[in-house]
A and B are shown apart, each in its own frame.
Chain A
């Protein structure tokens, strides 16, 4: 391409302290770039300790001004980390930011290879590729689109509630979607919260009421998001509002329907399977909104066609058996996912006997058992409903920190177990054993709580429980559940008979987290939690612009952290809303009308319906507002009529040649 105007390229090699310089000979790399890529237009090649520092950036800016650079290659980290930094620096010096290219010699070279010579050779190829590519780059302008100030929050647990209130209080509208009939999430099921032993309902319900009455919050419970399209600033969301069979306009939440309903069913959701509810029910006394739901599966009218007791007694005529699911379309600019967690299924650890022995409880069952508003009014009793246990064993890490189940630590179980130990001790005076692998009480006032429980006389046995059995070996084990454990502090096997066993089960990603992730275009980690943009510096943003995550959907965490994340996500959304418009990457496809033959091959390829066929001119047209920039049509066009900015054929082909060192001067290539 000799007739092409010669570009003036600057190559900047970053040491990244020793992160790159430790494995790549950075000085040699810079020298080589100046020598071997000089014919391509490299006029300067420098290395510097930290290119991303202000001094490093100034170095580049100065060269752009003084040497008249027209292209810049920074050989440093992944473009996902510092592309923006260097583009901004170039812009400051008057160079179009899209004429800067990053060569990832840290993530793709120095961090993953072990031989300095080979790593340096590969780094040269990566730089050569970037130089060839950057020459083909074209100046581009960011596309600005307005941001819809409305926000969608999915999940009405404490994280979602916090986020909703923050945004609504700032004066912007929030749609809060909750799958269950009431907001409140797991926290509403708890009795006390560690380490302060605040009553969960006392601190949560005022916030729930605030959400329910806030003029800026549209609360959609018993609803699920079924479709999401669009992009940051302009999402189109379809929500399915499931039929409650209750006319919300007329219902006053008096609860007569529930009282009169003759059908009792086990409440698997709110009461964790240890209590009952009616077929028409308000999940709990403080539910927000206060409207009941008719459970179609169990309602006698829906099964047999007769009954309608609720309808007869409803004083406002709010029962509506003909109600149908409703689809609601909304437009929002940002979305926060606070979808929470599922509990680990304790049946999977069959040796602990959950499901076989009635007096083995899960942590959530115990929460309901100890809750003053629960099925036993807060009396801690065995499954028979009356016997008070004299001894209780609490097993930590059930399903967590276990290669057979979940590798990770569920974070809350140690503190939750300590809370249980305290409650059992306080209310029954029973002897309490805690079986733990390691005690993890690392947060403000957490370890003090541990000390307190220790002083109360709870017994701690360090070791992973092997088995819970009812096979007694002697008299005093008879009729008890025997916990078989290796006490690793004394190095002995022990058998400890107890009346009640509580399994502190771990947290798991929602069973449908993957599908939800797909729906919103975000990914899940190997464990199944939603992946954050950066594990330390950007924990509530995701790879998809405009979609944020908060609470346990991102990973196991306690209530204070969930609240903090909810507020953090809200702050990020407010930041976007207040900017009023968002800059989109100008990566778009367009059709060269002169080359287009009107074959329409591209038409069917676009999932965003951005390509339309204009019959009058026999050409295809790409709507830039709808184009998302994937480039599939560019690759498919048999006439070469479609070109894509940012990732053009010329750029990619040049990069291939560069990476294969085909762009060096011929003598060097053969050396």
Chain B
């Protein structure tokens, strides 16, 4: 995976009612897009806990794309506005953590906008490619180590602020 050009790994969060269906539409229409994005379905962009984004970035994603219904078209009336607010705050938090805010992007895509969804993915992959890899939570070899330098499994090393840490 170290051969150039750099192939970023991107996690995409989709809304069950719009952007996930846009992804389905892109598939049905056989549109082609960069294979760097892996999608997660939520019921609504409002479900997006910013912790999810941090978890993805800290566990090897180079960028995160958040997608939802256009303003005014939310299946749950207005929850995408809440996603927008959290997104704007999250960008500031990322800056504070020393991560380029451009690694996280919010995109609106309706169920009919398969073509837009594809274009946004392709553009975002290129943007992240320019930013280069985010080595947050990874050492050079990609192995996971604790403070003493011993290898550890991902689960124990990378618990999110949310997770109940197992004993």
Contacts A1-B166, A607-B77: A111 and B30 contacting too (C-beta < 8 A)? yes
Cβ of B105: which chain A residues have Cβ within 8 Å of it? none
Contact B24 A523 (CB under 8 A): no
Contact B112 A525 (CB under 8 A): yes
Q: How many residues of B contact A (CB 8 A)?
A: 64
A663 to B156, CA, bound (A): 11
Contact B32 A114 (CB under 8 A): yes
The yes or no answer to A521 lying at the interface (CB within 8 A) is: yes
Contacts A518-B72, A630-B47: A125 and B38 contacting too (C-beta < 8 A)? yes
A659 to B36, CA, bound (A): 11
Contact of A518 among B38, B40, B73 (CB under 8 A): B73
Contacts A80-B21, A652-B52: A657 and B59 contacting too (C-beta < 8 A)? yes
Closest beta carbon of chain A to B46's beta carbon, Å: 3
Cβ of B118: which chain A residues have Cβ within 8 Å of it? 112
Contacts A649-B49, A662-B154: A630 and B44 contacting too (C-beta < 8 A)? yes
Contacts A3-B166, A113-B32, A653-B52: A659 and B26 contacting too (C-beta < 8 A)? no
- Which A residue sits closest to B9, measured CB to CB? A660
Contact B40 A632 (CB under 8 A): no
- Which B residue sits closest to A126, measured CB to CB? B38
A121 to B9, CA, bound (A): 12
* CB-contacts of B115-166 with A (<8 A): 118, 141-144, 151-155, 158, 160, 162-163, 166
Contact B60 A660 (CB under 8 A): yes
Contact A653 B30 (CB under 8 A): no
A178 to B152, CA, bound (A): 67
Cβ of B155: which chain A residues have Cβ within 8 Å of it? 1, 657, 663
A518 to B118, CA, bound (A): 24
Closest beta carbon of chain B to A595's beta carbon, Å: 11
The yes or no answer to A605 lying at the interface (CB within 8 A) is: yes
Contact of B142 among A119, A126, A629, A670 (CB under 8 A): A670
A49 to B103, CA, bound (A): 39
Contact of A119 among B35, B50, B110, B153 (CB under 8 A): B35
- Which B residue sits closest to A544, measured CB to CB? B75
The yes or no answer to A669 lying at the interface (CB within 8 A) is: yes
The yes or no answer to A656 lying at the interface (CB within 8 A) is: yes
Contact A659 B46 (CB under 8 A): no
Contact B55 A78 (CB under 8 A): no
Contact B38 A107 (CB under 8 A): no
Contact A666 B151 (CB under 8 A): yes
Contact A112 B32 (CB under 8 A): yes
* CB-contacts of A621-637 with B (<8 A): 628-632, 634-636
Q: List 19 A-B contacts (CB under 8 A).
A: A104-B24, A107-B24, A107-B28, A112-B30, A112-B32, A115-B35, A118-B35, A129-B40, A518-B73, A523-B111, A523-B112, A607-B76, A634-B47, A636-B82, A653-B52, A653-B55, A656-B40, A657-B59, A660-B38
A residues lining the B interface (CB < 8 Å)? 1-3, 78-80, 104, 106-109, 111-115, 118-119, 121-122, 125-126, 129, 518, 521, 523-526, 531, 543-544, 587, 605, 607-608, 628-632, 634-636, 640, 644, 646-647, 649-650, 652-653, 655-657, 659-663, 666, 669-670
Q: Supply 14 further A-B pairs (C-beta < 8 A) apart from A628-B76, A657-B158.
A: A3-B166, A113-B32, A122-B35, A523-B110, A523-B111, A526-B113, A544-B75, A605-B79, A607-B79, A630-B75, A646-B43, A647-B47, A662-B158, A666-B153
